[in-house]
Structure 1
């Protein structure tokens, strides 16, 4: 048990507690992964628990791989435990039992791009105004419905039967039927259908309850309702569940995460042991102190405070820029100044609240020839040529995948235009079969010209040949054959352009991806490979070895760490954003996001804001973020953070527009403005009539020409102005 000596007292207590429910509250950088991996080793090596009976789930492939690699390094051999993401675990279960829900086991998994394509087709088919109702609008609602869960049939009963609700229900219903027809599921379905499977077939549930007698869940604060139900159903039989998380890092409520899952864990399970991991191994004490001074303002949180035995370190630097260009210039200059022979560019990260902020930093870094990488832009797997070739692979795996077929039937050109394809779709719908099956009908093919018929026959033969041999071929062999025999590679070569050359390079790089997977697992099957690339999260694309400054949103940065971190845009309205006030707990989630951003920094942290900012084409003067005002000022150096002296102007409202005892809200300014308007109305309520002399703070003294009670005309040295009574700050002389 010498390996446990590497853990601190609290980590060791958590690792050695194996029976019954366990809640590990693991603060940022507190070594939760080490605790979880050592716990698995202790369970298998010391307690004699069969690894086959252990399930460990997390949110990203990167985290799952890191956990599995660490465990196998500690024990010195492979492990047959399931250490997977939620989606991967559910997908593996559904592959074995999909027929219970009416799916084939070779069902496809549609990514967001596939989903949008399908919704666009439905919008077009129903004649819906695409400007009024976008695919993202429908997909957002459908995703939330699947999390609750609410079916298309139930939607109007829950949300009313007005025109908008009926439209959503109609699109939702058609979307679900199209998925089933294509033998496909989206990401939400993987969770939802697994829960449905457990409810529908008790023998399947019992099978997995008996197998997974010990369950561990990473990042439990980010679980949504479906993930919660999936875990709870599995854990009910043996009650050996360990959840690890940090309520202070719950930043995904906007996409379904329910913080109550971790806050109320002790209500869901009896006799819960709680272990707090508060020692931080990542950041200096100044950085931790700053993070705590912000997060301690949240009410919905478990009591804990990170500490470290490291030195205090440098103070947090604050810079108040003139505008966003000055802000970007300052950050680029600091990177140049801090960069040295023993420091690489990938030691630096710029973490912003919204993707739209990246442009000015990209320009500033480019001018100084500083290499950078934007994490969160167009994913490699979303590029056209990669989507095309993966659709070929998907069709080989699942010939009922109409979405994949529609994308590639004319890639490269086979003479099948939009009208022909529409006829094929209609015919397949009438015959209640996939488009591929329709293309296999000789009578259908003979209705085309001889050239098109020949092209279609070559296409179907190609797919059929590799589909029938997919169990006997390596994925790289299938890939090479599809690229060449489909004519896709030749078509690109004939274009002889720089763009085509770039696409070919990407296709060759994709072959490297395949080789990497085959090197890791020589027996990997096509379905397994397709699953892995379909489930890749954006953070899995982060290459820590690439020597470039990393630009990303704070949401994308969760789970990562950097020696030097810049957090720009620390202004009310941007961070926290105004939308935070749409929900009762919105400001608390923004504060948690700020906490996550701060705790990404290991050695140095810079916070910046701009006096005026042009965003989305509009320039505004800004007010420094509420989070800056919450920081412990003894931990900050640089520019001063402005705090107005409060002056009571009546009714509990102060000169800065903030009500005493409450946090800043966007509509407080509007409330204050309305009170000022009312005061102006009262001040100028004296009847004004022609001949009266008045003063105006901007135009000076003037003579009233006429007044009808609402509009007053005044001559200011011959310049006649029409002003609204009550709005114009007029004083009768």
Structure 2
């Protein structure tokens, strides 16, 4: 195939711009992964890139796996598509023994547990929640490249739970000492150690520069100062750098992400080519109107334009807004609407219910179960870690050594039936239904396998997917926080809890914190392809609708009759 086929004019400009520095400002749903992979493939096709000298960096193993998969589909092998951490760890594993004469220290597998041991040495007994918070402070300090002394000065007079800053500082010192005594590195140390190695060892830097010539960074709005420093060391004094990101989707500032690296790319690289991708190929026009209204005037925001795609009748309707008496009433209304959609033929996998914080999910899970709707909570147990899935894979692996008496799919079905799969699902909700859904997903993988697949080939493929965490989609409705939903999309999205104190969340104070909540809301809105339902409830405390709802009111329509009691706070009807 021609890798330039099917690209719009903006995507084509980005793909054809092979010499860096290049910044691609990719609006939500604008096909940034397509642009990244097509640009690399085009560079290889015309001889500008050698696959083995290309490094494509992203933030999750799943995203890196997707990049590799798409590149393989385009006929490109040998590109190093990795997370920052896996790339740094690979370089440390390669160079460390040569530099030190010893193996690389082990990686800390549980920072909170090690912190608990450090606390014991100080005769402290903080609870687990406090230790988790201290761990977050350690991570923030390191990705911001602060020393413990700098941290102490910046947080003087503060506290983490019951611990004063002075005590937190001593706990951090004890943690670092214990880690050194055990010859361990934590997650952030991997990046720090790699950066230190490249800065201090000229021959290592020269070897890395010889190996990798062309760099692409996905989700560049999420880089931390530490990742930016490491990237600069990898690139060196060359210009072959392409960054892709969306400042409007910066939602990890609390973890050290700094969108200024994207926003100021042109200032740091005066000769940079900056390309915008404004065409959205995901969402209906009404959804895009709300998204644009919410982010209008914000730094780096890309005005989204509906792409040239075919949509069904009515898909351009504005998002609906519904007010409810309390959280239980809101959850029941959402569950009833979801059940109605599924009864009308919607695939449960195409529906998501989103919320700001995990604590909001309990009523929703219960209401959906009562309505007979199966759910999966994103961020829960990974599919391939589910005991029933691991048991099924082992059983299928065992069956693959014997000659097949029935067809491949029938054999898979028989094995899964022996483990508890039934023709009809049990009632929604609970561990029994979850196990049924997991086994049913494995059966669907078998049914979707290419004709002629053997049971051994199927189990090999499933085990490869497990290693890559390439999880199949369960035939369930997805429940997720807004953070967990980033990078995903569904036909029908319910964005719940849109009240002051929930979205924006109550502890978000000051312009920067509120703006991060705005970007979270934008992420939620732009997950929807066809319909978007926004809801909020007054609750016992008499909450008000979210300020973000107020801002996009002209781009929404009410989901209740005009004559219904409104309470005075949400009276404007739009889209009629």
Q: TM-score, normalised by structure 2?
A: 0.79
Q: CA deviation at 1:596?
A: 0.5
Contact 1:352 1:554 in 2 (8 A): yes
Contact 2:486 2:523 in 1 (8 A): yes
Counterpart residue number, 1:124: 120
The answer to whether structure 1 residue 627 and structure 2 residue 548 are counterparts is yes
Q: CA deviation at 1:174?
A: 2.5
Q: CA deviation at 1:87?
A: 1.2
Structure 2: distance between partners of 1:126 and 1:32: 49
Counterpart residue number, 1:108: 106
Contact 1:250 1:589 in 2 (8 A): yes
More off after superposition, 212-221 vs 339-348 = 339-348
629 and 93 in structure 1: CA distance in 2 versus 1, 3 angstrom threshold: same
SS class of match (2:146):
coil
Deviations along 1:655-685, one digit per CA (max 9) or x if unpaired, are xxxxxxxxxxxxxxxxxxxxxxxxxxxxxxx
SS class of match (1:350):
strand
Structure 1: distance between partners of 2:462 and 2:332: 47
Q: CA deviation at 1:644?
A: 5.9
SS class of match (2:42):
helix
378 and 130 in structure 1: CA distance in 2 versus 1, 3 angstrom threshold: farther
Q: CA deviation at 1:167?
A: 2.5
How large is the RMSD of aligned CA atoms in angstroms?
A: 3.5
Structure 1: distance between partners of 2:302 and 2:115: 45
Contact 2:25 2:244 in 1 (8 A): yes
Contact 2:27 2:302 in 1 (8 A): no
Structure 2: distance between partners of 1:181 and 1:35: 46
Match for 1:315 among 315, 318, 326?
318
The answer to whether structure 1 residue 594 and structure 2 residue 521 are counterparts is yes
The answer to whether structure 1 residue 367 and structure 2 residue 403 are counterparts is no
Q: CA deviation at 1:305?
A: 3.1
Counterpart residue number, 1:301: 300
Counterpart residue number, 2:88: 90
Q: Which runs of 5+ in 2 are unaligned?
A: 390-396, 398-430, 439-455, 572-576
Q: Any residues of structure 2 matched to 1:638-717 within 5 Å, and which? A: 638-639=559-560
Q: CA deviation at 1:578?
A: 2.3
Q: CA deviation at 1:128?
A: 1.2
Structure 2: distance between partners of 1:335 and 1:645: 24
102 and 624 in structure 1: CA distance in 2 versus 1, 3 angstrom threshold: farther
Q: Which has the larger radius of gyration?
A: 1
SS class of match (2:197):
helix
Q: CA deviation at 1:600?
A: 0.4
Counterpart residue number, 1:573: 501
Contact 2:289 2:555 in 1 (8 A): no
Counterpart residue number, 1:47: 47
Counterpart residue number, 1:349: 352
Contact 2:26 2:302 in 1 (8 A): no
The answer to whether structure 1 residue 549 and structure 2 residue 477 are counterparts is yes
Structure 2: distance between partners of 1:520 and 1:132: 39
161 and 328 in structure 1: CA distance in 2 versus 1, 3 angstrom threshold: closer
Structure 2: distance between partners of 1:332 and 1:261: 42
Counterpart residue number, 2:12: 12
151 and 518 in structure 1: CA distance in 2 versus 1, 3 angstrom threshold: farther
Q: CA deviation at 1:551?
A: 0.5
Q: CA deviation at 1:242?
A: 0.2
Contact 2:266 2:272 in 1 (8 A): yes
Contact 2:3 2:42 in 1 (8 A): no
Counterpart residue number, 1:333: 336
More off after superposition, 154-163 vs 603-612 = 154-163
Counterpart residue number, 1:459: none
Q: CA deviation at 1:337?
A: 0.9
560 and 69 in structure 1: CA distance in 2 versus 1, 3 angstrom threshold: same
Counterpart residue number, 2:145: 149
Q: Which runs of 5+ in 1 are unaligned?
A: 387-475, 477-498, 507-514, 613-618, 647-733
Structure 2: distance between partners of 1:373 and 1:288: 27
The answer to whether structure 1 residue 561 and structure 2 residue 485 are counterparts is no
Contact 2:119 2:174 in 1 (8 A): no
177 and 23 in structure 1: CA distance in 2 versus 1, 3 angstrom threshold: same
518 and 198 in structure 1: CA distance in 2 versus 1, 3 angstrom threshold: farther
Contact 1:572 1:622 in 2 (8 A): yes
Q: CA deviation at 1:124?
A: 1.7
More off after superposition, 137-146 vs 351-360 = 137-146
Counterpart residue number, 1:606: 533
248 and 603 in structure 1: CA distance in 2 versus 1, 3 angstrom threshold: same
The answer to whether structure 1 residue 248 and structure 2 residue 243 are counterparts is no
Structure 2: distance between partners of 1:633 and 1:158: 43
Counting matched residue pairs gives: 501
Structure 1: distance between partners of 2:475 and 2:330: 23
Q: CA deviation at 1:97?
A: 2.0
Contact 2:495 2:535 in 1 (8 A): yes
Deviations along 1:101-128, one digit per CA (max 9) or x if unpaired, are 86943533334xx111111111122111
